[in-house]
């Protein structure tokens, strides 16, 4: 393993983590559900407040003390970098919440431990099952990192299959010796719960819209059996495949401007603290991003 300091803008969570909802996103989901009509609006509002408070406290700790435990990252294969914007060079395999909190609080650099691609899957499994989640959440997270357990040893699918952009391959995994029983023992849940997690994973295969909502519900604490029942009901409503055939919403590109402004805002916050050679790195990176844009977009930004 190698140690080094990395610019936050060069990092992005590993594709295997894309379907495991992060804390601020769970808080946003609960806030949305708390505003919608339903029987348990008060419960969602209470959960939203709890998650938001936890995230705010985490960010404040990062702001005051910095990142005390180095992030674990692995190099992105050259063929994968082509589909990524800017100067992204490494995947985060452990520490994406610390990374996100750093972005939110204006911390531009952090200490990192560089691990190999071969080590990534095992580190991710250990990392996602380290926090205090419900047993169902732990089981399902472990299945997302070891999907061959649910799919009978099939090769791992790219975990970004639900995104609209180019997929980032998490890398094929040969038929695994890992079984549901072995995985349940590793993460400390019963075999029954692990089998429920496997069943839910199979039910969601090929249904990206359902998966986003169902998985966020699991990570918020809903039981696997209840969520799986809901998914089956949605899939059979109006005939098999009805969910996939529903009209798609018009794409919303607002997040592009928002994410760009957030990134530039973080650079602006960190700028006074940066040494000259770090400022040169940031400027170089921004210029490289600018040159990757279509001429019309460059002109609009510079005019």
Q: Does the structure show a pLDDT above 70 at 201?
A: yes
Report the range of poorest mean pLDDT among 50-54, 87-91, 162-166. 162-166
Give pLDDT, residue 3.
81
Give pLDDT, residue 116.
92
Q: Which regions of the chain does DSSP assign to beta strands (E)?
A: 2-7, 11-13, 71-75, 90-94, 109-114
CB atoms within 10 A of CB 134: 17
Kindly calculate the radius of gyration of the chain based on its CA atoms and give it in whole angstroms: 20
Report the range of poorest mean pLDDT among 85-89, 107-111, 150-154. 150-154
Give the residue-averaged pLDDT of 185-205: 93
220 vs 278: which has the higher pLDDT: 220
- For the chain, the structural domain boundaries read 133-248, 254-302
Q: Does the structure show a pLDDT above 60 at 297?
A: yes
269 vs 205: which has the higher pLDDT: 205
Q: Does the structure show a pLDDT above 80 at 284?
A: no
Q: What one-character DSSP code corresponds to residue 4? A: E
Output the CA–CA distances (angstroms, integers) from residue 270 to 5, 66, 88, 109, 196, in the order listed: 15, 13, 19, 9, 46
Mean pLDDT of the chain: 77
Give pLDDT, residue 114.
95
Calpha distance 256→81 (Å, rounded): 19
Give the residue-averaged pLDDT of 235-249: 52
Give pLDDT, residue 32.
86
Report the range of poorest mean pLDDT among 11-15, 97-101, 225-229, 297-301. 297-301
Report the range of poorest mean pLDDT among 10-14, 16-20, 148-152, 281-285. 281-285
The two beta strands, 2-7 and 71-75, are unpaired
Q: Does the structure show a pLDDT above 90 at 240?
A: no
């Amino acid at each position: 393993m190698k140690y080094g300091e990395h610019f936050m803008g060069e990092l992005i969570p590993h594709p295997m983590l894309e379907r495991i909802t992060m804390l601020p996103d769970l808080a946003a989901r609960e806030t949305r559900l708390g505003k919608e009509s339903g029987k348990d609006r008060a419960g969602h509002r209470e959960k939203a407040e709890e998650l938001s408070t936890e995230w705010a406290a985490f960010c404040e700790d990062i702001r005051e003390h910095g990142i005390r435990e180095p992030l674990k990252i692995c190099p992105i294969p050259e063929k994968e970098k082509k589909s990524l914007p800017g100067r992204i060079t490494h995947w985060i395999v452990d520490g994406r919440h610390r990374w996100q909190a750093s972005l939110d609080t204006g911390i531009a650099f952090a200490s990192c431990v560089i691990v190999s691609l071969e080590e990534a899957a095992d580190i991710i499994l250990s990392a996602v099952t380290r926090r205090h989640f419900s047993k169902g959440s732990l089981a399902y997270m472990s299945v997302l990192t070891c999907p061959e357990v649910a799919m009978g040893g099939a090769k791992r699918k790219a975990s970004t299959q639900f995104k609209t952009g180019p997929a980032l391959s998490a890398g094929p995994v040969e038929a695994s010796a890992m079984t549901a029983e072995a995985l349940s023992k590793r993460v400390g849940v019963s075999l029954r719960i692990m089998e429920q997690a496997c069943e839910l994973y199979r039910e969601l295969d090929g249904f990206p819209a359902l998966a986003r909502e169902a998985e966020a519900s699991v990570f918020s604490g809903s039981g696997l059996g209840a969520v799986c029942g809901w998914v089956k009901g949605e899939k059979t409503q109006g005939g098999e495949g009805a969910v996939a055939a529903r009209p798609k919403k018009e794409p919303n590109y607002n997040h592009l401007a928002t994410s760009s402004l957030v990134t530039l805002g973080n650079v602006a916050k960190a700028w006074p603290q940066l040494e000259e050679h770090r400022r040169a790195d940031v400027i170089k990176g921004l210029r490289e991003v600018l040159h990757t844009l279509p001429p019309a977009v460059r002109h609009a930004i510079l005019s």
